[in-house]
Amino acid sequence: MKRQLSILVTVVALLVVALWFGTINAQASQISGADAGHSVRNSGPTERLGPTQPVPPDFKPIDTPYNGGIVQDGSFEAGSPNPFWSESSTNFGTPLCTVAACGTGTGTGPRTGEWWAWFGGIATFEEGSVSQVLTIPSGANTLEFYLEQFVCDSASDYLEVTIDGNQLFLTDGGSTLCGQFGYTLQSVDISAYADGGSHTLEFHSEIFANNGNGTNFFVDDVAIIQQQGATPTPTQPAATATATPPTTSIQLGEMSSTSGSPMGGWLIGLLGLTLLGAGLAYQRRK
């Protein structure tokens, strides 16, 4: 009887060890698969790295003032007589004004600083101009200036902008800007003159006082703008598929798995069952 009990205890012990070994092996396989998946996720998807096409180092935003200083003293702050602008006026000697010297004519006065160009401003004939000789390089395609014409008498009164005597801009005393308080930005295409040559830029006005009053044209902050082109559109790289960690699945009765094999433990368990069966058969024969 003692011998039978000893054999039974041995077989049960072997079976317990086999089951324990199989469980540990399966857990180790699952941990290994989880670690592999974690390392892939840490690397991150490539689309998070940003555009593959960098902005060129010499790129400038659209419509930034040209750095070559094409228009000298565009805000007229050098005063009068001005070293950069040629000035003329039938009644005043110059269109350039300060509030202290000219008042504001019920308008804004200067847009920036203390000086601005005031064309008209009298109830009689008045002709005035400011002009500057400058070099317009290639790519400097736009002339910009700020204009206010709050007081208007008649559509005969006008202000024009010319380059080399060719009219590129015109406003008159019948404009919708009449009666509008404050400056508005004006943009003029001068690409036909952006050839690296010398040109004469002129603001010229005539006032006729047809209705017994004057028209006021205020000009300030003149600049020539270089168009640098549109901002390049970054190209996004194709998304990279994230690696999926290997799946570990172990079911009772299977002899292997996709990420590890507890086969050794199950073999020991089967061996123990075989020994148990053999022992019982031996006892029956006795």
pLDDT tens for the chain, residues 1 to 286:
555 555 555 655 555 555 555 554 545 444 444 443 333 323 333 222 223 333 334 433 333 333 347 999 999 999 999 999 999 999 999 999 999 999 999 899 999 999 999 999 999 999 999 999 999 999 999 999 999 999 999 999 999 999 999 999 999 999 999 999 999 999 999 999 999 999 999 999 999 999 999 999 999 999 999 866 544 445 455 555 555 555 544 444 444 444 444 445 545 555 555 555 555 555 555 5
pLDDT at 62: 33
Assigned token pair, 276: 């148990």
pLDDT at 226: 82
pLDDT at residue number 198: 98
